[in-house]
Structure 1
Amino acid sequence: MSDVLGSMRRACLSCTSLVRGLAGAGLLTASTPVWAADDPIVALTSQVMTDLNRHELVTMAMAVSVLGFSVVSAILLMRTRQRAVAQEMRLRAEVQSLQAESDRLRALLFVEPQVLISWPAGDNRPQISGDTALLLPHDGLGAGAQPQRVLAFGTWLPPEPALQMDHAVDALLDKGESFLLHLTTSTGRSIEAMGRAIGGQAILRIRELSGVRRELADMARRFKALHDETEMLRGFAEAAPWPIWTRRASGELNFVNAAYARATDAGSAADAVSRNLELLDSNDRGNLARALSDKAEFAARLPVVVRGERRYFDVRALRLAGGSAGMAVDSSEAAALGAALVRMADAHRRTLDQLSSGVAVFDAQRRLAFYNDSYRKLWDLDRAFLDSHPDDSSVLDRLRAARKLPEERDFKEWKNKLHEAYRAVEAEKAIWYLPDGRAISIVTTPNQEGGVTYLFDDVTESLDLQRRYGGLIDVQRETLDNLSEAVAVFGSNGCAQLFNPAFTRMWNLSAEALATRPHIETVEEWCRPLFDDAVSWQALRSAITGIDDRRNVLLKLERRDGTVLSCKTMPLPDGATMLTFQDITDTENVERALRERNEALETADRIKIDFVHHVSYELRSPLTTIIGFAHFLSDPSTGPLTDKQSEYLAYITTSTNALLAIINNILDLASIDAGAMTLNLGPIDVGRAIEAATEGIQDRLARDQIRLDIDVDPSIEGFVGDERRVVQVLYNLLANAVGFSPQQAVVKLAVRKAGNRVVFSVTDAGPGIDPALKDKVFDWFESHSQGSRHRGPGLGLALVRSFVELHGGKVQVDSVVGRGTTVTCEFPIDQTAQRNAAE
Structure 2
Amino acid sequence: MEFSPLALVVIGLLLAAWTVAAAVMIVRASAKTKRTKALQISLKRMQRMLDQAPAIPMLVRVDGRIEAPDRLARWLGLDAMPNYLSELAADDDDAGQHGLSEKQVNSLTEKIRLTQKSAAPFQMAITPPGSGRSLALQGALADPQVSPGGAALVWVFDFSESEDELSRLRQAAAQAEGDFAALVGLIEAAPVPMWFRGRNMRLQLVNQAYVDAVGAEDAAAVIAEQIELLEAEAGASPAQQALAVFEGEAAAERTMTATLHGARRTLRVSNQPLGKEGVTGYAIDIEEQQQVLREFRAFREAQREMLDQLSVGVAQFDDSEQLTFANRPFRRLFELPDGAVRNNTPFERFLSEAREKGLTPEVRDFPEWRREHAAWFDSPDMQEEAWPLPGGTHLRIVAQPMPDGGIVLVAEDRTESLALSATRDTLLRTRTATLDSLFEALAIFAPDGSVQLWNRSFAGTWGLSGEFLDTHPSADALLEAIGKNLTRPGDAKQIGAVVRAATLDRKEKEGRVQLSDGRSLRFAGVPLPDGNGLLTVLDITDSQKAERALRERAVALEEADAVKARFLANMSYEFRTPLTTIGGYAELLKSGAAGELNEGAGEYIDSILTAAARLTEQVENVLDLSQSEAGLLPITKEQTDLLGFLTKLVRERETAIIKAQLGLDLKGKRGRMVDLDPRQMSRAVGNLIDNAINGTPADGHITIEILKSDPASEWGTSFVISDNGAGMNADELERALDGGRSAEDSDTEKRTGLGIPLARQLIAAHGGLLEISSQEGVGTTAIIHLP
TM-score range, shorter-chain basis?
Answer: 0.3 to 0.5
Choose 1 or 2 for highest CA Rg.
1
Q: TM (normalized to structure 2)?
A: 0.38
